[in-house]
Amino acid sequence: MEAYAPRYVINGSLPPHPPTYLPSSIFYDQEIQMESWISEAVIHPQGGASSAEKLPFEEGSVQLLSAATALHWFDLDTFLPEARRVLCVNGVMAVYGYLNMKPLLNDPVKATEVDELFIKYNKVLEPHHVVSRVSLLHNRYKDVKFPFEEVNRYPDVRCTFEGKLPDIVNYVSTWSGYQNFKKVDSKGAEELLDFFRKRLYEIASACNISPEDSTTLYRDFQLILCRKTQDGPFV
């Protein structure tokens, strides 16, 4: 999580309040207004290690608060009022997360096979997921009631970047479900990951992509932008 307080910029000026969209540098190539706004921002001077449920910021001192693939791990009954407390009027909270990292394949049949591989992998891990947490992310945070006057949802924002197939294997090995599975059945977890690796490499090989090749990967984000337009608790 990051908190930005543009009132502390070097030149001492306070930029206009942020519009209801995220910096273009994260998702898009074109220049948009938010990019110039955030370029003047600095990390909040009161920042430091803390729990999301007890933010170390003064009331109304933050203009942009972000939570990246993390909201589902928070105690939302405590965090959301706390987020509202620290945001200033017209401050924005940006919540975003993604479910998978995949290779961008030109062959739609092979792309579908990658989708099916992820479904199989996730199915095995289902008993080991913290269901109440992961389901929030899988549902794109649709069940979360954000206590803000303006809430804008953007369910499909694609981010592409260069990487390698082993990056995907490493990524799925970090899932909480996999880590929990590994604690109770280390051999079974390793066999599952090995199956995932071999099948992914097999599919990619049909598209002339090897594990050593640099290739285009992508993540599909869900993005929620919340703006606080009034002081006080949300009614």
Q: Of 13-17, 75-79, 191-195, where does mean pLDDT reach its minimum?
A: 13-17
The answer to whether the beta carbons of residues 133 and 73 sit under 8 Å apart is: yes
Q: Of 10-19, 62-71, 134-143, where does mean pLDDT reach its minimum?
A: 10-19
Query: Is 63 buried (19+), middle (13-18) or exposed (0-12) by CB count in 10 A?
Result: buried
Residue spans of the domains in the chain: they are 28-228
Interval 83-120: pLDDT, tens: 999 999 999 999 988 878 999 999 999 999 999 999 99
Tell me the CATH architecture of domain 28-228.
3-Layer(aba) Sandwich (3.40)
- The mean predicted confidence, pLDDT, of the chain is 82
Residue 129 CB-half CA count within 13 A: 18
pLDDT at 131 (0 to 100): 67
C-alpha to C-alpha distance for 164 and 29, rounded to whole angstroms: 22
Q: Which of 88, 87, 149, 4 is nearest to 79 (CA)?
A: 87
Confidence of residue 69 (pLDDT cuts 50, 70, 90): confident
Q: Which of 64, 170, 60, 188 is nearest to 124 (CA)?
A: 188
Specify whether the backbone of 69 is left (phi greater than 0), alpha (psi in -120 to 50) or beta. left
Q: Decide: helix, strand or coil at residue 149.
A: coil
Interval 17-52: pLDDT, tens: 333 333 333 333 333 344 555 555 566 666 566 788
Interval 148-179: pLDDT, tens: 999 999 888 888 999 999 999 999 999 989 99
Confidence of residue 70 (pLDDT cuts 50, 70, 90): confident
DSSP 232: S
- Token pair for residue 222? 């869900």
C-alpha to C-alpha distance for 75 and 53, rounded to whole angstroms: 7
**What's the whole-number mean pLDDT along residues 121-127?**
93
| pTM over 0.85, yes/no | no
- Which CA distances in Å does 225 have to 19, 117, 144, 185, 204? 10, 32, 13, 40, 35
Q: Which of 2, 5, 83, 1 is nearest to 44 (CA)?
A: 5
- Which CA distances in Å does 41 have to 53, 167, 176, 205? 23, 31, 33, 44
